[in-house]
Amino acid sequence: ELYEKASQEVTGPLSTAHQWVNMSDVSVELNATHTVKTCKPALGYSFAAGTIDGVGAFNFTQGSVEGDPFWDGIRDQLLGEPSNETKACHEPKPILFSTGEMTRPHPWHPDIVDVQIAAIGSLAIIAVPGELTTMSGRRLREAVKREFDSHGTPAMDVVIAGLCNVYTHYITTYEEYQVQRYEAASTIYGPHTLSAYIQLYRGLARAIATNTVQDLPRGPEPPLFNIGNLTLVPSLIVDRAPVNKTFGDVLQEVRQQYRTGEVAEVTFVGANPRNSAENANEHNFLTVERYDNTSDRWHVVQNDVSWDTRFYWTKGFLGLSNVNIKWYIPQGTEPGVYRIRYFGHNRKKPFNSPAVFVPFEGMSSTFEITNL
């Protein structure tokens, strides 16, 4: 509908301008007499307070411009006290986590980030590595538009695309920063973060408008961290089935008959789904199949990516688990005979041998769907 109602066709050249920038050390010229700087990353107290629709825990509240001796003490003991320089730079934000000074096992926040503009004819897309408040977005968009206008490229439609290339939390206006609600406490490069981004994106727009993108310095590229061995996901353990049961056996059977709008449900002896994810390129965890009398064959009508199916894995003790599959039978389902199948892999660890993953299947009893 939007496409059919569009009134302007985008035509013209394609260009892009990209730079790396150390956002923890940007000098910003506010006017002819005042220059300010961005800060090393830090999160404030109101970050822990959360938002109105997602409240945090403990006694943290939005709008906090003073710290708390109790939480400051815990922070200093466990994570380290923020430097006086960082505290002063972020005022009036009381710092809860001085992430720019926390480097183990790797830096907690990036210093070097991307700034980028892609221009498609009269459309300029500002790729921003963060979440802008409404007023921040307006100011950035208008500043970029004015820059294009002043360098011979008028009537540009400027669109902001947030969360591009890297994530740096929120970007508030200087005024919003003083109030220190959740978004301001999450503006990690200090009160002049927006001004720094406006200055940087104006430079990119100028380069595109004057066809001097090739003269832009690349900037300091970010370090590459090897995090291949760093994981918080627990290791896989050997899967086990209950006594006198095997993987794929039915624990709770389907009913014999259903109508559209009802839920067909079956529970199997299961195994960790990660086993399958790590040992199969293309794998369905479940299928819903209908019997065709004409061909005397079963045909898949739904699988694990279907909107109407649900797959629940419940972890038990010592490798025991089960899988519950539900099919929310949609209106319009053709009457007939159906069944539900489950596919998995169980992990075995023979003595003095590498672990192996054994595929298995489970199948419900047949059931009928009627219109009665």
Residue-wise DSSP of 201-244? HHHHHHHHHTT-GGGS----PPPPP--TT---SPPP------TT
Q: What angle do CA 159, 164, 167 make, to 5 degrees?
A: 130
Q: What angle do CA 100, 105, 107 make, to 5 degrees?
A: 25
CA distances from 302 to 251, 286, 287, 299 (A): 22, 8, 6, 9
Amino acid at 46: S
pLDDT bin (cut points 50, 70, 90) of residue 140 is very high
- Per the CB < 8 A criterion, the answer to whether 197 and 132 are in contact is no
pLDDT bin (cut points 50, 70, 90) of residue 282 is low
Q: Which fold has domain 250-370?
A: Immunoglobulin-like (2.60.40)
Is residue 227 scored above 80 in pLDDT? no
Domain boundaries, the chain: 8-215, 250-370
pTM of the model: 0.69
Find the mean pLDDT for residues 283-312: 96
Q: What is the DSSP letter of 99?
A: G
Residues 6+ apart with CB under 8 A from 293: none
- Per the CB < 8 A criterion, the answer to whether 10 and 109 are in contact is no
pLDDT bin (cut points 50, 70, 90) of residue 233 is confident
Beta-bridged to residue 289, according to DSSP, are: 300, 339
